[in-house]
């Protein structure tokens, strides 16, 4: 059997390459190699790219395609930073 999906909850840290995110919940889909990150209790997901200078990106919900490294802001909440 192969992993199809996974959910992690409560102060989840996720890292790939030069990017690192902190979220309340992460839903991972193996078929699309992507994760949807949700802020904790209506809070914000924080995404930092160590290869880029500047403030971290924060949004209520983010989709991160780990195959292509594409970031999509799904729910900006009070969006801060630059994707």
Whether the CB-CB separation of 57 and 83 falls below 8 Å is answered with yes
Per the CB < 8 A criterion, the answer to whether 39 and 60 are in contact is: yes
pLDDT band at 81 (very low <50, low <70, confident <90, very high): low
In this predicted structure, the answer to whether residue 83 has a pLDDT above a threshold of 70 is no
What pLDDT does 21 receive? 93
Angstrom CA distances, 24 to 20, 52, 66, 68, 69, stand at 14, 24, 19, 23, 20
Q: Using alpha carbons only, what angle is made at residue 73 by residues 69 and 77, rounded to the nearest 5 degrees? A: 150
What's the pLDDT score for residue 1?
Answer: 81
Output the pLDDT for position 17: 87
pLDDT tens for 3-44 read: 999 999 999 999 988 899 999 999 999 999 999 999 988 789
**How far, in Å, CA of 10 to CA of 22, rounded?**
10
């Amino acid at each position: 059997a192969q992993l199809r999906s996974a959910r992690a909850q409560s102060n989840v840290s996720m890292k790939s390459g030069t990017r690192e995110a902190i979220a309340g919940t992460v839903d991972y889909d193996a078929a699309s190699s992507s994760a949807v990150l949700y802020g904790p209790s209506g809070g914000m997901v924080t995404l930092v790219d160590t290869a880029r200078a500047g403030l971290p990106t924060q949004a209520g919900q983010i989709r991160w395609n780990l195959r292509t490294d594409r970031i999509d802001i799904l729910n900006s909440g009070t969006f801060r930073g630059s994707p």
